[in-house]
């Protein structure tokens, strides 16, 4: 009897704490690192479902019912010089993934047509290589971006690896690039376990050049690689610090032949909780569910929106299949969500509330966390 009473009172306490944090974010506030970690550490399914419903409210408040759809074209496949442990395209691993050089205009323009037909906002050119330098390849990349832009059917995006010079980012901007995908992958602490041929700082440096060029940043990571909840929380705060505009959350789809091939899948509730925590930490950003959605979430895919996701990668991924885009569009329609994202300027991400770290932003919880640790 006593233990049941205790359980009820713990549940009620958690519900109240989640709602305090939810109200705070809805009011334009920001949660602290400790508060976010507390959310990541929730275990009871009743608490996680409470968290999702608050994340859903936050998404509704800042994003309405608009869902931003993106698709990608594998513009140069396989034989990559890098050793990212999750990637089928690394030359370090035998995965049987296709290999080809940089694409001609036709497949890119066909992808733009297809995207336009399906209400997809952006098409991203993705290349499997370490990065982009000045030279003939940059010229060719800029040609593809210009063609996409001139077609006027989708927003031209790209994900072309590490950039080491401001001039490269400036050329991409000049060609009409609006948004560049460059994931941090995980926390700074866990990053060396995902890749040793380049560093976390290489990635931050690239993002710095892109931001200086006036290009929007699409940056997120992959969960399920063996990282801890602390790593996921740190990643979300890094993404907040760099001012990512779109935050892709990928869920590891273990590829045979890669070092992560035997990683156990994350439980569905853990994935949904992670998305919800990202929404609490990044209330105004586009949180996009990308690779690994179908295989990891199966019938629970539609719950990503209740967990706070506001964007979706549709069509096939780089080396794995997704469910047909028609099925995704039907899922959105069934949920009353609208894929016609009309804010190509990202102006809905302007801050109007208090800033992270300011005293005025303290919640009752952060005061109690401080009191507990004093
Ligand atoms: S993730 Fe990108 S950089 Fe890393 S191996 Fe794959 S293609 Fe290369």
Mean pLDDT of 88-99: 85
Q: Which atom of ligand 1 is nearest to the CA of 83?
A: 5
Distance CA 290, CA 303 (A): 14
Q: Is 161 in the pocket of ligand 1 (CB under 6 A)?
A: yes
Q: Which atom of ligand 1 is nearest to the CA of 80?
A: 8
Spatial neighbors of 126 by CB under 8 A, at least 6 apart, are 72, 73, 74, 75, 158, 159, 160, 181, 318
Query: CA nearest 87: which of 125, 127, 47, 124?
Result: 127
Pocket test for ligand 1, best of 76, 78, 81, 89 (most atoms within 8 A of CB): 89
Q: Is 128 in the pocket of ligand 1 (CB under 6 A)?
A: yes
The string of pLDDT tens digits covering residues 343-353 is: 544 655 655 44
Q: Which atom of ligand 1 is nearest to the CA of 318?
A: 7
pLDDT at 9 over 60: no
Mean pLDDT of 5-21: 71
User: Residue 249 pairs with which residues in a beta bridge?
Assistant: 221, 289
pLDDT at 273 over 80: yes
Q: Is 97 in the pocket of ligand 1 (CB under 6 A)?
A: no
- The percent of residues above 70 in pLDDT, for the chain, comes to 86
pLDDT at 360 over 70: no
Mean pLDDT of 133-146: 89
Tell me, what's the pLDDT at 54?
Answer: 98
Distance CA 122, CA 314 (A): 10
Please give the distance, rounded to the nearest whole angstrom, from the Cα atom of residue 78 to the centre of ligand 1.
Answer: 9
Distance CA 72, CA 64 (A): 25
Q: Is 123 in the pocket of ligand 1 (CB under 6 A)?
A: no
Q: Is 80 in the pocket of ligand 1 (CB under 6 A)?
A: yes
Tell me, what's the pLDDT at 315?
Answer: 76
H-only helix segments in 122-267: 136-151, 166-175, 200-212, 229-242
Please give the distance, rounded to the nearest whole angstrom, from the Cα atom of residue 238 to the centre of ligand 1.
Answer: 21
Please give the distance, rounded to the nearest whole angstrom, from the Cα atom of residue 91 to the centre of ligand 1.
Answer: 9
H-only helix segments in the chain: 2-26, 33-40, 45-63, 105-117, 136-151, 166-175, 200-212, 229-242, 268-281, 293-297, 303-306, 325-334, 364-373
The string of pLDDT tens digits covering residues 216-270 is: 999 999 999 999 999 999 999 999 999 999 999 999 999 999 999 999 999 999 9
Tell me, what's the pLDDT at 236?
Answer: 97
> Binning pLDDT at 50, 70 and 90, where does residue 4 land?
very low
Q: Which atom of ligand 1 is nearest to the CA of 128?
A: 7
Tell me, what's the pLDDT at 126?
Answer: 86
The string of pLDDT tens digits covering residues 150-168 is: 888 888 899 999 999 999 9
> Whole-prediction pTM value?
0.89
Tell me, what's the pLDDT at 170?
Answer: 96
Q: Is 75 in the pocket of ligand 1 (CB under 6 A)?
A: no
SS3 246: strand
Q: Please provide residue 299's backbone torsions phi and psi, each rounded to the nearest 5 degrees.
A: -70, -10
Q: Which range is least confidently modeled, 106-110, 304-308, 335-339?
A: 106-110
Q: Which atom of ligand 1 is nearest to the CA of 129?
A: 8
A 10 A CB-CB count for 352 gives 6
The string of pLDDT tens digits covering residues 94-135 is: 888 877 877 777 787 888 888 888 888 888 888 788 888 888
Take atom 5 of ligand 1 and give the residue whose Cα is closest.
90
pLDDT at 357 over 50: no
Q: Which two tokens stand for residue 236?
A: 């979300």
Q: Average pLDDT over the chain, rounded to whole?
A: 86
Q: Is 74 in the pocket of ligand 1 (CB under 6 A)?
A: no
In the numeric block, the tokens 């997809």 are attached to 120
> Binning pLDDT at 50, 70 and 90, where does residue 215 land?
very high
């Amino acid at each position: 009897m006593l233990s049941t009473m205790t359980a009820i009172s713990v549940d009620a306490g958690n519900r109240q704490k989640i709602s305090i944090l939810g109200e705070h974010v809805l009011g334009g506030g920001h949660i602290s690192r400790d508060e976010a970690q507390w959310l990541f550490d929730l275990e009871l399914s009743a608490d996680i479902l409470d968290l999702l419903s608050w994340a859903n409210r936050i998404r509704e408040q800042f994003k309405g019912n608009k869902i931003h759809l993106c698709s990608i074209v594998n513009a140069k496949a396989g034989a990559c010089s890098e050793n990212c442990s999750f990637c089928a395209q690394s030359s370090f691993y035998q995965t049987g993934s296709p290999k080809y050089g940089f694409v001609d205009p036709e497949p890119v323009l066909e992808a733009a047509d297809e995207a336009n037909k399906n209400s997809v906002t952006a098409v991203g050119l993705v290349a499997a290589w370490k990065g982009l330098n000045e030279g003939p390849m940059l010229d060719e990349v800029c040609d593809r971006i210009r063609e996409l832009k001139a077609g006027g059917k989708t927003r031209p995006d790209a994900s072309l690896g590490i950039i080491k010079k401001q001039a490269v980012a400036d050329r991409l901007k000049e060609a009409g690039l609006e948004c560049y995908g460059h994931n941090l992958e995980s926390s700074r602490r866990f990053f060396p376990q995902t890749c040793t041929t380049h560093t976390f700082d290489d990635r931050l440096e690239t993002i710095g050049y892109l931001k200086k060029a006036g290009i929007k940043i699409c940056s997120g990571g992959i969960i399920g690689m063996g990282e801890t909840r602390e790593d996921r929380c740190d990643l979300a705060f890094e993404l907040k610090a760099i001012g990512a505009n779109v935050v892709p959350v990928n869920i590891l789809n273990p590829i045979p032949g890669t070092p992560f091939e035997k990683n156990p899948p994350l439980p569905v509730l853990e994935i949904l909780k992670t998305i919800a925590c990202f929404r609490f930490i990044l209330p105004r950003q586009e949180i996009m569910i990308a690779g690994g959605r179908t295989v990891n979430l199966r019938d629970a895919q539609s719950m990503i929106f209740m967990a706070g996701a506001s964007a979706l990668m549709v069509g096939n991924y780089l080396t794995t299949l997704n469910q047909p885009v028609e099925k995704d569009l039907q899922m959105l329609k069934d949920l009353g969500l609208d894929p016609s994202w009309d804010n190509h300027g990202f102006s809905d991400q302007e801050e109007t509330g208090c800033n992270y770290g300011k005293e005025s932003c303290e919640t009752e919880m952060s005061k109690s966390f401080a009191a507990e640790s004093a």
